[in-house]
């Protein structure tokens, strides 16, 4: 009976662990937040910056509030970000 219980717990833990890993594979996280040890999903990036990074909603708002980046253009099309990364890696 105890063995069945522990086997069931193991299967549940195993399933939760790998589903969490699968979820993280397809997500892009906000780089400034990752630097602060927080995993927050990114939805935006700055098209104006020379080295754009994925940004969450708060990160995008903060980016456009700083004097140096106040006039920067924010995009919510992260597929463009991956193309920019690919292009910069080919140089």
Q: State pLDDT tens for residues 29-58.
A: 999 999 899 999 999 999 999 989 999 999
Does residue 16 sit within a domain?
no
- Alpha helices, DSSP H only, in the chain? 2-25, 31-35, 57-63, 78-90
Residue 69: partners with Cβ closer than 8 Å, 6 or more residues away: 46, 48, 49, 63
Range of the domain at 42: 25-85
Decide: 46 and 74 in contact? Cβ < 8 Å. yes
What tokens were used for 57?
A: 């909603």
Does residue 13 sit within a domain?
no
Residue of 57, 33, 27 whose CA lies nearest to 45: 57
Does residue 41 sit within a domain?
yes
Does residue 11 sit within a domain?
no
Does residue 20 sit within a domain?
no
Does residue 14 sit within a domain?
no
The domain tally of the chain equals: 1
pLDDT of residue 12: 53
Confidence of residue 20 (pLDDT cuts 50, 70, 90): very low
Between 4 and 79, the more confident residue is: 79
Please report where in the chains the tokens 């920019």 appear, as a residue: 84
Does residue 63 sit within a domain?
yes
pLDDT of residue 24: 53
What tokens were used for 59?
A: 């990160």
């Amino acid at each position: 009976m105890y063995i069945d219980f522990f086997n069931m717990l193991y299967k549940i833990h195993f399933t939760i662990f790998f589903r969490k890993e699968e979820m993280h594979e397809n997500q892009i996280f906000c780089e400034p937040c990752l630097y602060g040890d927080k995993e927050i999903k990114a939805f935006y990036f700055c098209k104006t910056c020379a080295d754009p990074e994925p940004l969450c909603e708060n990160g995008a708002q903060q980016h456009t509030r700083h004097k140096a980046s106040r006039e920067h253009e924010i995009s919510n099309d992260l597929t463009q970000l991956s193309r920019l990364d690919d292009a910069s890696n080919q140089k």
